[in-house]
Amino acid sequence: MPPKTANREAGYFATLAAERSDIALCRASTVVARAAEARANESGIGVGQHLVLKMLAEVGPSSQRILSDQLRIDRSVMVGICDGLEQAGHVRRERDAGDRRAYAVTITDSGRRLLARAEDAVPEFLDDTFADLTPAEREQLSALLAKVLRLRP
Amino acid sequence: MPPKTANREAGYFATLAAERSDIALCRASTVVARAAEARANESGIGVGQHLVLKMLAEVGPSSQRILSDQLRIDRSVMVGICDGLEQAGHVRRERDAGDRRAYAVTITDSGRRLLARAEDAVPEFLDDTFADLTPAEREQLSALLAKVLRLRP
DNA sequence: CACAGATCATCTGTCTTCAGATGATTGGCG
DNA sequence: CGCCAATCATCTGAAGACAGATGATCTGTG
């Protein structure tokens, strides 16, 4: 347990993080997000683009609305993500025949190849960013975050 | 355990969050950050301003550099935070006599009163945002985040 | 003392995120 | 059928975060 009388300045953040989990969560998020973006860029892709390709590969063609909702990416941002993927040829944007307001965003073979490369880098990335956690602790963290996000009851 | 064959679209995020703790962490952060900012605003303050007042009250007058480092707030952003606090009279910015490059940012009585009000709202806020976690789980989360942040070994 | 490099606060421009408005299209309801 | 509210993708403008440059000041070295 840290001393009751807080250190006068150095290490104040540790005290704060212990007391305010919300702050700890936000600060952890920014370092993790930075690292994730850097890793994704090494594969020549953004994190958002990676997630879009991943979802398209797993659930099939989807509208930008569904992608936005399920990936928790703002619809305005999704426009730019899909623009990039489409220009690079990793995705096709066809109008959905049944609902011509919506696109049917579809992953291409090029997209699948890029996705495969990006996915290869994920395990090592997770291992690095959660290096100080045992496998059991990583499971715990995952479960706790799911509760904070109010996912499955 | 969720079905191996992922749901075709609904609930895809739960699958993703289970697989990518980094994404779960980031998404949890944005919802928590939003809630924190909203709560702080109800006390007529920003989260950053709240943290600055809190640190000043606990460790005494500090330079903006030290505040930035310990609160993990960019030095450029700290300028605006201190501007706001100073204009509202919650903080004084005197040049440090010993090092005239640096300010000695000092909390005022007005600042202490505002801080007290803002602090009053914190326990309820934490209770709300981590409502689905037991006290033991909140401790776990705090400890795990400390490890992700590589705080104390 | 004089000078070089580091440090503090600040400013500037860029990038990301997001709320709200817009145009096209849909579905429901009379 | 014809209208109206809702929905999809997009655009626009505002706000925040941040990298890099700047001016003032400090520290250390000769």
Per-residue pLDDT band at A1 (split at 50, 70, 90):
very low
Mean pLDDT is lowest, of A102-106, B23-27, B88-92, for: A102-106
**Number of domains present in the structure of chain A:** 1
Q: Is pLDDT of A152 > 80?
A: no
Does the residue B91 lie in any domain? yes
Q: Is pLDDT of B4 > 50?
A: no
Residue B114, Cβ neighbours under 10 Å: how many? 23
Question: Which residue of A149, A150, A152 to mutate against B (max B Cβ within 10 Å)?
Answer: A149
Chain B residue with the nearest C-alpha to that of A26? B29
Does the residue A1 lie in any domain? no
CB pairs under 8 A between A and B: 189
pLDDT of residue A95: 85
| pLDDT tens profile B120-130 | 999 999 999 99
Average pLDDT over residues A85-114: 92
Which residue range is the domain that position A22 belongs to? 12-148
d(CA B141, CA A21): 8
pLDDT of residue A102: 85
Q: Is pLDDT of B151 > 60?
A: yes
Token pair belonging to A25: 């969560």
pLDDT of residue A7: 56
User: B40 CB contacts (<8 Å, ≥6 apart)?
Assistant: B46, B47, B49, B50, B118, B121
3-state secondary structure of B93: strand
Does the residue B135 lie in any domain? no
d(CA B2, CA A151): 12
Does the residue A7 lie in any domain? no
Q: Is pLDDT of A65 > 70?
A: yes
Per-residue pLDDT band at A99 (split at 50, 70, 90):
confident
User: B35 CB contacts (<8 Å, ≥6 apart)?
Assistant: A22, B125, B128, B129
> Given an 8 Å threshold on Cβ–Cβ distance, is A18 in contact with B146?
yes
Token pair belonging to B13: 């995020």
pLDDT of residue A2: 41
CATH assignment at residue A46? 1.10.10.10
pLDDT of residue A88: 95
Chain A residue with the nearest C-alpha to that of B137? A144
Question: Which residue of B37, B145, B150, B152 to mutate against A (max A Cβ within 10 Å)?
Answer: B145
Does the residue A103 lie in any domain? yes
